[in-house]
Structure 1
Amino acid sequence: MIELMPVARQFRLLKSEILAKISNTIEEGKYILGPQVKQLESRIAEWTGARHAVAVANGTDALVLTLDACGIGPGDEVITTPYTFFATSEAISRVGAIPVFVDIDRFWNLDAEQVEQAITSRTKAILPVHLFGQPARMDAIREIADRRGLLVIEDACQAFGARFVGKPVGTLGKAGCFSFFPTKNLGTLGDGGLIVTSDAALADRVRELRQHGSSKRYYHDAIGYNSRLDELHAAVLLVMLEKIDEWNEKRRKIAQIYEERLAPLRPFIELPVTEDGRLHAYNVYCVTSPHRDFLREELLARNIQTGIYYPRPLHLQRAYHSLGYKPGDFPVAERLSAEALALPIGPLLTEQEQNQIVSALRDVAERM
């Protein structure tokens, strides 16, 4: 079976380095917010160019703590996309705010041209998602936010290593949030997350919130969270970070091969689009087809895994029934939910496997 995201290969390849790092961590005897976490924060701050990096328990907490630290809460509105993983809007709801959805553009990210009409007197922030590793239109989003006095918080959970006009995603707003879930470009053997920002006060506030609202042991200035990245995960991530540039480049080369070899299959399938100035990280490689479900069944019969991201957009989730959205409100997001299909990708996907995937797609297309 060709796996959709063959992440186990990556960890197996670096197993000896990971085990050595874990062994050193055990010997050091510091397991919570110790030297591994501090080193990881320092390395990622340097890598992104942000002044501060704060590691937390997972990507969802990165979003929640950032929103909380920015003072966003009950009654506030945050504009975001309906076509992403649930955690994006869940974080907004978790702090008591209201997600306000805006449809997506041809790059599958928040449509900047529709954002302004969604702004109200209660809007406090715009939360764009760099979906699947493709940077959102941050120039247009920032222009609107700056003009209207709004915060920009980036959900970069799927986009570690992506860049917009040369700048790393996560550094283009007030703060950027990353996830280290195993399937992410930079992933660990479990959950992990991190916030980057160049705002010292915001970084201090997030550090306080992640440790029960405490900056001094047993003294608590706020109601916080228990959201600390474990030393063992930080140790693993330090090993994985050494490969991130090389492996992201391999993802881009795999995506380029898909684009070159699948282009003749239009309109049976349509390929993702990008543009100059956006360096895609290709955490996921999605095509679209009106025959998505049939295509998926055919590929599975040929031992090729695929994925559906995401089968139901956020505005139509039962959890948001009270917001009053209905089918047809966001047609682009709804069409992608019905047609998008993720193909296998990863830095260690082999040439033979990709040839097999392309041949299978061609065979199915010819039979249609």
Structure 2
Amino acid sequence: MIASLDVGAAYRELREPIDAAMRRVLESGWFVLGPEVEAFEEEFACLCGTTEAVGVGSGLDALTLVLRALEIGRGDEVLVPSNTFVATWLAVSAVGARPVPVEPDVATHNVTADAVAGAIGPRTRAVVCVHLYGRLCETRELRALCDEHGIALVEDAAQAHGARNEDGRAGALGHAAAFSFYPAKNLGALGDGGAVTTSDPLLADRVRLLRNYGSRRRYEFEAAGVNSRLDPLQAAVLRVKLTVLDEWNERRRALAERYRAQLAGVPGIALPAPSGADHVHHLFVVRCERRDELRDELRGAGVDAQIHYPIAPHRSGAYAELDLDLPVADRLASEVLTLPLGPHLDEEDADVVIGAVRRLRAGAAV
């Protein structure tokens, strides 16, 4: 079976430096926060082009802590994409605010500034733009729109480590950004982890306070914080992987272009919109007719195709009471299919995937 993503291959390629980094932490005896986390935060901020990075426990925690640091809460509204992983919505709910969904562009799957502009209301405090599947949103237009309305632009960059456009990298294009280091991410740890990036020192200081029980000094609590601290062992692993992030992203782009060239014109398959350095291809997602049928056929042919995401947030039990009509999100949830892609997928296996899609879709109606 050709795996959707071989997360173990990342360790196998970097076994020696990762093992050495983990030994360094184990021998240091410093297992919560400390110099390893601080070093990663400095290096990750440098990569993103921000002055600050704060390591936290997960991507969801990163989003939640950003919203808390912005003092967003009950009675406030936050604009979110209708088509995203549910964590984007859950972070808004966690601070007591109301997620207001914005339908995405069908070609890019990302929200546009025009769509966001039409959804801003008197209670809107922030916009969370998700760089879905690794493609950057139109951040210049979104940032200008948010500045005009005096609201925050928060990047959900959980799938976009290293993506860049003419204005900089993911993590530095809004007022703040949230990253996940879940093992399957472009920059993945060996467990959960996350980070907040920003060039606002006051916001970063607030996130640092909140991630550590609301405490700067032992047993002194300035705020009702949480326990959400990036683990030093994970930080050490991430420091190693940070050195190959750009190289691995280039591998992803090359495979994505191979898919695009060889799958062009296949009946019933809509390929992702063209892209450049602004897309790091965390996932290669196509839209197709009879999606579930094709997924099952591909698995029968030894290709582990996945679905990101089969249930839009407004259709989940978590938000059933909202009773929302979001036809674009519903359409995407019924059509999207993720083909195997990652920095360790070789060209031969990619060609097997391509051949299986072409064969199974031969003669299908457009």
TM-score by length of 2: 0.97
Q: Is the 8 A contact 1:132 1:284 kept in 2?
A: yes
Paired residue type of 2:206: R
2:206 alignment counterpart: 205
User: Which stretch of the first structure deviates more once superposed, 252-261 or 11-20?
Assistant: 11-20
* SS at 1:79 equivalent: strand
Q: Distance in 2 between matches of 1:216 and 1:204?
A: 14
Equivalent-residue separation in structure 2 for 1:224 and 1:274 (angstroms): 43
**Amino acid paired to 2:344:** L
SS in structure 1 of the partner of residue 233 of structure 2 = helix
Q: Is 2:344 aligned against 1:343?
A: no
Q: Give the Cα separation in 1 of the matches to 2:302 and 2:73.
A: 47
Matched, 1:10 2:10: yes
How is 1:70-149 mapped onto 2 (pairs within 5 angstroms)?
A: 70-105=70-105, 106-149=107-150
Q: State the partner residue of 1:156.
A: 157
> Which secondary structure does the structure 1 equivalent of 2:269 belong to?
coil
CA distance in 1, matches of 2:357, 2:33: 48
Q: Are 2:32 and 2:229, in contact at CA under 8 Å, matched by a contact in 1?
A: yes
Q: Does 1:359 align with 2:355?
A: yes
The equivalent residue for 1:50 is 50
C-alpha deviations, 1:63-108, integer Å up to 9, x for none? 0000000100111000010111110000000000000001001210
Given that 1:138 and 1:164 are in contact with CA atoms closer than 8 Å, whether structure 2 keeps it comes out as no
Matched residue type, 1:183: A
Q: Is the 8 A contact 2:167 2:173 kept in 1?
A: no
SS at 2:188's partner residue? coil
1:63 is matched with: 63
Residue of structure 2 equivalent to 1:320: 319
Q: Which residue does 2:35 correspond to in 1?
A: 35
Residue 367 of structure 1 and its aligned partner are, at CA, apart by 5.1
CA shift for structure 1 position 321 = 2.2
Q: What's the offset of the Cα at 1:365? A: 1.5
CA distance in 1: counterparts of 2:320 and 2:288, whole angstroms: 28
The number of aligned residues is: 363
Give the unaligned 5+ runs of structure 2: none
Moved segments of 4+, more than 4 Å: none
Verify the 8 A CA contact 1:81 1:110 in the aligned structure 2: yes
In structure 2, what is the Cα distance between the partners aligned to 1:170 and 1:333? Answer: 25
Instruction: Indicate if the aligned counterparts of 2:58 and 2:193 stay in contact, CA closer than 8 A.
Output: yes
**Maintained 8 Å contact 1:290/1:339:** yes
CA deviations on 1:265-286 (whole Å, 9 max, x unpaired) are: 1x4201000356x620100000
SS in 1 for 2:338: strand
Q: Secondary structure of the residue that 1:341 maps to in structure 2?
A: strand
Aligned-residue offset at 1:137: 1.2
Could you say what secondary structure the match of 1:348 adopts?
A: coil
Higher mean Cα deviation, 314-323 or 58-67? 314-323
Aligned to 1:41, what secondary structure does the other structure show? helix
User: 1:252: Cα distance to partner?
Assistant: 0.3
C-alpha offsets along residues 22-58 of structure 1, whole Å, 9 cap, x if unaligned?
Answer: 1111111111112110110010111111000000011
CA distance in 1, matches of 2:192, 2:49: 24
- Quick one: percent identity of the two aligned structures? 44
Q: Following the alignment from structure 1 to structure 2, what is the Cα–Cα distance between the partners of residues 355 and 321?
A: 41
For residue 181 of structure 2, what is the aligned residue in structure 1?
A: 180
Q: Is the 8 A contact 2:210 2:225 kept in 1?
A: yes
User: What letter matches 1:244 in structure 2?
Assistant: L
1:221 matched to 2:217: no
1:111 CA drift (Å): 2.9
Does the 8 Å CA contact 1:58/1:180 hold for their aligned counterparts? Answer: yes
Residue segments in structure 1 that go unaligned for 5+ positions in a row: none
Kindly provide the amino acid, as one letter, of the partner of residue 91 in structure 1.
A
SS of the equivalent of 1:264 reads: coil
Aligned equivalents of 2:142 and 2:237: distance in 1?
Answer: 35
* 1:284 pairs with 2:280: no
| Residue of structure 1 aligned with 2:327, choices 331, 334, 337 | 331
Tell me the distance in 2 between the aligned counterparts of 1:315 and 1:210: 29
